[in-house]
């Protein structure tokens, strides 16, 4: 090994190298192992004397990525070599031609793909989208590029403690926003779960620590309970002669946090934090039958919840995931999730569909994965969205739950949850989607925006005279439908604009004005339109009447000074100064490392108040907007606009007041509203801006907007309201974008 690093570092490198060889022993030739050694030697040379922020030799990073690739994803020698070399071209004097000459075209192509996508989140937004597009295009070329990139991100997340806090938040936000959904979509559920947990660790460290500590404190009792729960199942399976393994597993910290938010409950109110997985050792041809047999045995002992049954054996997920899930009522009135699957299914759930694609000869897996790749290609080839729309649309299709629906002939189609009839029509064929006139679901006419459910059978009614409508974009959720609709609308818009330009030219000629670039710019300013196509489109729709054009000519004929004066008269004598909502008081926040006093606005999506952990986001048109760090939109903002995020710090001032929206739930009792208002207004001397409480079937839910001084003041109010008999929960309301 290298002589330029310490004996301790050499030892660590040797240990990892031996681990890689052990993992590959049964699935690599001696020639492949020799190639791995050559790749390691080259990487050692390329990264010699380079260390990571943690102080360890840089070479340990590509070696750890290689270990993840082989052990946790299940790839082979080619991927290990590529992982060892993945940073060489970018970080050293070695060129892609050197990799091609030394290791061959296949590995050079993978390294090229990894180098191209290394800056997915390091550029401005438009460049991010283009780099993201390049990354996705590699799916059709060699999916190993994406898998190695995911392994690279996972190791970076595991070793991020030595990085500055602001970089931790940015990288964690990126991971949660894109990499975790991508891992999910590729069937890498273990990696997806770890990426989510590690992201939460850095984006909401206090929440992460609290849930983690509570999980550890309850772990021993929970595991004892699960042993008690699984004991009769274990005995029955042995009596049946079934070969099996039972694993107890805890839900991830991130999934518990998500459930707490979605259901507005506390940690103690999450009852299915643990589950058991029954893994069956059975031949391929008998898998389905034995899984259902075990399901029958489990439900002989415990009653299942009919709403929590999931059969992904009869209809696997598009990622290839197969398993039976059910939630049953265990001893002492506790719900327990039970997962039933074969060893093959478990391996695929652990390693993901992508690791099987074209490397293990599984034609069924290959066809499913190819089907998804074709969708990716369609989204990329005809995408004309803005950069952010492109990323958001694709991300939605990565991470959404799935539904399974049928054509009139019984053909099964997979769509994201929330898909409507128009999404279905474009899934069948683009021409059908473009000519969609109506739809029947299960034999009954429905509106085109009808949200489909699993099991629906859909018939699309078409017309040659039908064209996509702009309102369809409000209904559809799939990238394919959205892209095709926009393309069609843009083509129609372009034709109308061409006709509109002819009309506008004639009208201006009549008013003795020749249409040229200068006149076009003046018209855009006068009408406050964003571009020339919009101008001519409105003209084509006959929206620019003669009186409006005469007003333009009159203003224009006032000369340059008159034109500018009229512009300011319309827009205001001076640019509007952006300030916070408390104009009568000094700024409560300072920004950046130098703590500058800058104008800002408090974002309405999370309504920050004094004492909240916040950050500033520099908008294009509205100055600095302040968001809470746990705002529903924080992850997306920090991920997509890392260069426009600014540190925000509260400074003391006792006179500023803020509004906070509280959501209150509980048992409806006589005089409840009176007790709440009496407590807030009289006992606590707090001003109520609005109150709205509704009761139904003995349960009430309502919202109260109160005026508070800071976060501590608000927390005191919440604590006091919770003491009222019948109140079950009091939470601050956060609004999604």
Q: What positions carry a catalytic annotation?
A: 90-91
- Please report which helix (H) or strand (E) contains residue 566, including its range: helix 559-571
For residues 338, 343, 347 and 349, what is the CA-based torsion angle, rounded to 10 degrees?
-30
Q: How many secondary structure helices (H) and strands (E) does the chain include?
A: 28, 20
Q: At what angle do helices 77-84 and 60-67 cross, to 10 degrees?
A: 160
Q: At what angle do helices 559-571 and 546-556 cross, to 10 degrees?
A: 120
Closest-CA residue to 258 (of 193, 351, 335)? 193
Say whether 729 sits in a helix, a strand or coil. Answer: strand
Contact assessment for residue 292 and residue 324, using Cβ atoms and an 8 Å cutoff: yes
CA distance 70 to 264: 40
Task: Please provide residue 241's backbone torsions phi and psi, each rounded to the nearest 5 degrees.
Answer: 75, 25
Contact assessment for residue 234 and residue 246, using Cβ atoms and an 8 Å cutoff: yes
CA distance 38 to 44: 10
Distance of CA 484 to the CA centre of its chain: 23
Contact assessment for residue 157 and residue 198, using Cβ atoms and an 8 Å cutoff: yes
Joined together, the tokens standing for residue 206 give 């206090």
Closest-CA residue to 254 (of 243, 262, 246)? 262
Please provide the distance, in angstroms rounded to a whole number, between the alpha carbons at the two ends of the chain. Answer: 53
Closest-CA residue to 313 (of 275, 346, 281)? 346
CA distance 36 to 706: 65
Closest-CA residue to 314 (of 351, 348, 334, 289)? 289
| Neighbour tally for 604: CB within 10 Å | 11
Q: At what angle do helices 30-46 and 7-24 cross, to 10 degrees?
A: 150
Report the sign of the C-alpha dihedral through residues 259, 265, 268, 271, in that order: negative
Specify burial of residue 17 (Cβ count, 10 A radius: 0-12, 13-18, 19+): middle
- CA-to-CA separations, 415 to 219, 228, 382, in angstroms, rounded: 38, 40, 20
Strands 600-602 and 624-628 turn out to be: parallel
Joined together, the tokens standing for residue 672 give 């409840």
Question: Tell me, what DSSP letter sits at residue 701?
Answer: E
Say whether 412 sits in a helix, a strand or coil. Answer: strand
For residues 327, 330, 335 and 341, what is the CA-based torsion angle, rounded to 10 degrees?
-30
Provide the strand spans (E) within 624-676.
624-628, 645-650, 658-667
Would you list the DSSP string of 499-531?
HHHHHHHHHHHHTT----HHHHHHHHHHHT-SS
**Ramachandran assignment for 251, one of left (phi > 0), alpha (psi -120 to 50 degrees), beta (any other):** beta
| Spatial strand order in the sheet of 458-462 | 444-446, 436-441, 458-462
Joined together, the tokens standing for residue 253 give 């910290």
Q: What is the largest CA-CA distance in the chain?
A: 98
CA distance 183 to 152: 12
Contact assessment for residue 120 and residue 161, using Cβ atoms and an 8 Å cutoff: no
Question: Tell me, what DSSP letter sits at residue 450?
Answer: P
């Amino acid at each position: 090994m290298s002589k330029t690093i310490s004996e301790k570092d050499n030892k660590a490198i040797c240990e990892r190298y031996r681990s890689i060889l052990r993992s590959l022993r049964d699935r690599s030739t001696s020639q492949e192992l020799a190639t791995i050694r050559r790749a390691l030697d080259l990487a050692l040379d390329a990264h010699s004397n380079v260390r990571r922020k943690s102080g360890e030799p840089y070479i340990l990073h590509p070696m750890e990525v290689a270990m993840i690739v082989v052990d946790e994803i299940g790839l082979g020698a080619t991927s290990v070599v590529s992982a060892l070399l993945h940073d060489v071209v970018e970080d050293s004097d070695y060129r892609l031609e050197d990799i091609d000459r030394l290791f061959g075209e296949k590995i050079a192509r993978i390294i090229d793909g990894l180098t191209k996508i290394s800056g997915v989140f390091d550029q401005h937004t438009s460049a991010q989208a283009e780099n993201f597009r390049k990354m996705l295009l590699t799916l059709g070329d060699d999916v190993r590029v994406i898998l190695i990139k995911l392994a690279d991100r996972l190791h970076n997340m595991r070793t991020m403690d030595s990085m500055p806090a602001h970089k931790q938040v940015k990288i964690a936000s990126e991971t949660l926003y894109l990499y975790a959904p991508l891992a999910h979509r590729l069937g890498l559920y273990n990696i997806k779960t770890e990426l989510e947990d590690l992201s939460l660790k850095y984006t909401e460290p206090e929440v992460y620590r609290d849930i983690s500590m509570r999980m550890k404190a309850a772990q021993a009792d929970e595991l004892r309970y699960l042993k008690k729960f699984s004991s009769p199942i274990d005995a029955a399976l042995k009596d049946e002669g079934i070969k099996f393994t039972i694993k107890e597993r805890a839900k991830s910290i991130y999934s518990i946090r998500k459930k707490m938010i979605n259901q507005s409950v506390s940690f103690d109110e999450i009852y299915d934090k643990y589950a058991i997985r029954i893994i069956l050792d059975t031949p391929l041809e008998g898998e389905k039958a034995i899984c259902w047999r075990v399901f029958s045995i489990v439900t002989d002992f415990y009653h299942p919840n009919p709403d929590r049954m999931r059969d992904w054996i009869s209809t696997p997920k598009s990622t290839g995931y197969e398993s039976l899930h059910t939630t049953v009522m265990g001893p002492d009135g506790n719900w327990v999730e039970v997962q039933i699957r074969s060893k093959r299914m478990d391996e695929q759930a652990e390693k993901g569909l992508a690791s099987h694609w074209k490397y293990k000869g599984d034609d069924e897996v290959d066809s499913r994965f190819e089907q998804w790749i074709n969708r990716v290609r369609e989204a990329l080839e005809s995408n004309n969205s803005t950069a952010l729309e492109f990323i958001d649309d694709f991300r939605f299709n990565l991470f959404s739950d799935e539904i399974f629906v049928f054509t009139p002939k019984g053909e099964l189609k997979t769509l994201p949850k929330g898909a409507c009839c128009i999404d279905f029509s474009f899934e069948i064929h683009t021409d059908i989607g473009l000519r969609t006139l109506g739809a029947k679901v299960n034999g009954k006419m429905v509106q085109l925006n009808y949200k489909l459910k699993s099991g629906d059978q859909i018939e699309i009614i078409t017309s040659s005279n039908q064209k996509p409508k702009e309102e369809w974009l409000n209904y559809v959720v799939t990238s394919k439908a959205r892209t095709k609709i926009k393309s069609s609308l843009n083509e129609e818009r372009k034709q109308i604009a061409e006709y509109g330009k002819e009309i506008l030219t004639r009208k201006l000629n009549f008013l003795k004005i020749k249409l040229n670039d200068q006149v076009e710019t003046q018209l855009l300013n006068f009408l406050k339109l964003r571009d020339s196509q919009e101008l001519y489109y409105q003209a084509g729709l006959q929206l620019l009447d003669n009186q409006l054009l005469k007003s333009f000519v009159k203003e224009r004929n006032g000369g340059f000074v008159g034109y500018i004066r009229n512009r300011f008269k319309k827009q205001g004598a001076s640019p509007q100064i952006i300030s916070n909502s408390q104009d009568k008081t000094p700024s409560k926040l300072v920004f950046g490392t130098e703590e500058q006093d800058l104008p800002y606005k408090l974002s309405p999506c999370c309504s920050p108040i004094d004492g909240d952990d916040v950050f500033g986001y520099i908008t294009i048109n509205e100055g600095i907007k302040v968001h809470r760090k746990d705002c529903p939109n924080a992850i997306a903002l920090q991920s997509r606009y890392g260069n426009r995020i600014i540190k925000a710090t509260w400074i003391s001032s006792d006179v500023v007041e803020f509004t906070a929206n509280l959501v209150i739930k509980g048992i409806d009792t006589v005089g409840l509203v009176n007790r709440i208002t009496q407590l807030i207004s009289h006992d606590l001397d707090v001003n109520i801006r609005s109150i709205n409480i509704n009761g139904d079937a003995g349960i009430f839910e309502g919202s109260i907007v109160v005026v508070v001084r800071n976060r501590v003041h608000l927390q005191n109010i919440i604590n006091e309201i919770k003491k009222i008999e019948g109140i079950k929960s009091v939470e601050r309301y956060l609004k999604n974008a």
